[in-house]
């Protein structure tokens, strides 16, 4: 089955809104519940804002995958920013290098079913998250 990928460049505040809207729209058209659309949009909002805050720019890509009888929405957020030196620490609730609530990464991880960070200091960060569609 052909997969469509949606790419949203992140370069300014309005792009955060644009990213979560695209995530929600794709989730809706793939048959996700309103609750899951909102969960996806909220997780996307957090990681898109992180790109803007810490890396200045980057991109968020969305795609729907069908795996047997399961359907999932995959979000990849990538930037070529400073990277994250200590991923375990960054994933701890309340840890923030910017005076934030430190909820973005741990919260997005809780919202989604799968969550993976690949990062290298000085090279950038790529976060892949997936949500499976409920039956």
Partner 1 sequence: MQVPILKQGSYLIASIQSSLTDSDLCQLRDALVGQVGRFRARGVIIDVTPLDVMDSFAVRTLRDLAHMTRLRGSETVIVGIQPEVAFAMVQLGLTLRGISTALDLEEGLAFLDSRTDEAHGRD
Ligand X SMILES: Nc1ncnc2c1ncn2[C@@H]1O[C@H](COP(=O)(O)OP(=O)(O)OP(=O)(O)O)[C@@H](O)[C@H]1O
Residue whose entry in the numeric block shows the structure tokens 């370069």: 11
Cβ proximity to Mg ion: between 65 and 103 the closer is 103
Cβ proximity to partner 1: between 42 and 128 the closer is 42
Residue of closest CB approach to Mg ion: 104
How is the chain split among helix, strand and coil, in percent rounded to 5?
Answer: 40, 30, 30
The site partner of 55 among ligand X, partner 1, Mg ion, none (C-beta below 5 to 8 Å per kind) is ligand X
Residues 70-129 that bind ligand X (CB under 6 A): 79, 81-84, 90, 95-98, 100-106, 125
Under the binding rule (CB under 8 A), the answer on residue 22 touching partner 1 is no
CB contact at 8 A, 93 and 106: yes
Please choose, out of 32-40, 43-51, 58-66, 81-89, the segment that lies near Mg ion by the rule CB under 5 A. 43-51
Under the binding rule (CB under 8 A), the answer on residue 133 touching partner 1 is no
The site partner of 27 among partner 1, ligand X, Mg ion, none (C-beta below 5 to 8 Å per kind) is none
Count of CB atoms situated within 10 Å of the CB of 127: 26
Residues 61-100 that bind partner 1 (CB under 8 A): 93, 100
Sheet of strand 58-67: strand arrangement: 5-10, 58-67, 70-79, 124-132, 114-120
Residue 122, phi-psi category: left (phi > 0), alpha (psi -120 to 50), beta (remainder): left
Q: Tell me whether residue 63 is exposed, middle or buried, using C-beta atoms within 10 angstroms of its C-beta: 0 to 12, 13 to 18, 19 or more.
A: middle
By CB under 8 A, the count of residues binding partner 1 is 28
Interacting residue ranges for Mg ion, rule: CB under 5 A: 50, 104
């Amino acid at each position: 089955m052909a997969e469509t990928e949606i790419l949203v460049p992140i370069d300014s505040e309005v792009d955060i809104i644009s990213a979560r809207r695209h995530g929600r729209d794709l989730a809706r058209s793939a048959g996700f519940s309103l609750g899951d659309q909102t969960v996806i949009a909220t997780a996307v909002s957090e990681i898109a804002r992180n790109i803007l805050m810490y890396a200045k720019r980057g991109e968020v890509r969305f795609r729907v995958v069908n795996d047997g009888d399961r359907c999932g929405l995959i979000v990849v957020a990538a930037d070529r920013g400073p990277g994250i030196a200590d991923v375990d620490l960054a994933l701890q609730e309340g840890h923030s290098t910017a005076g934030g609530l430190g909820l973005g990464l741990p919260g997005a991880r809780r919202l989604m079913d799968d969550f993976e960070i690949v990062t290298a200091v000085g090279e950038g960060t790529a976060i892949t998250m997936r949500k499976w569609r409920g039956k």
